[in-house]
Amino acid sequence: MSYFAAAEDHQRLEWLGGSTVTVLLDSAATDGQLMVTSTSLADGDAAPLHVHAREDEVFVVLTGSVVIWCGEDRREVGPGGVAFLPRDVPHAYRTTSEDTRVMTLTTPGGLEGFFRGAGHDVSQPRPDGWTISPATMAPVAAAHGVTLLGPPPQL
């Protein structure tokens, strides 16, 4: 099954810290095999320490730089760099530059349900009182096999 989409066809979601997650490929387009997103982040944006039970995750840094923690490893990854984050290993990230863009791939697909459930589709009016925080993310994360373990590590 092939899939093609123009840039304007991609769903954009408001995410942590005002970042934007763009869903490029979801499990519906890949027969459940793959999810690909592109995320635009500002300096200091961070994900809570968490673990995926269902999927492996790959970060490809397109612009800017990100410190990524995976298990006991801590690395700063710059443009063109890549990080593989296996399932069942706690990980987190924190950006260290302005205008950071990261492409994320997960196998199998399905993690887009978490982003869609916790994020806000920017093509729709923002719901009254909508906010994203670890507290609002936790139940959606759990429903998608993600466990939030705590705040992002400090640099």
Q: What is the CATH number of domain 9-121?
A: 2.60.120.10
Cα–Cα distance between 128 and 150 in angstroms, integer? 27
Q: What is the pLDDT of residues 64-98, one digit of tens each?
A: 999 999 999 999 999 999 999 999 999 999 999 99
Rounded percentage of the chain residues whose pLDDT exceeds 90: 95
User: How confident is residue 155, by pLDDT bands cut at 50, 70 and 90?
Assistant: confident
Domain definitions of the chain by residue range: 9-121
Q: What is the pLDDT of residues 24-41, one digit of tens each?
A: 999 999 999 999 999 999
Cα separation values, 79 from 15, 37, 44, 61, 66, Å: 22, 16, 17, 5, 9
The DSSP output letter for 99 is: S
Cα–Cα distance between 106 and 54 in angstroms, integer? 9
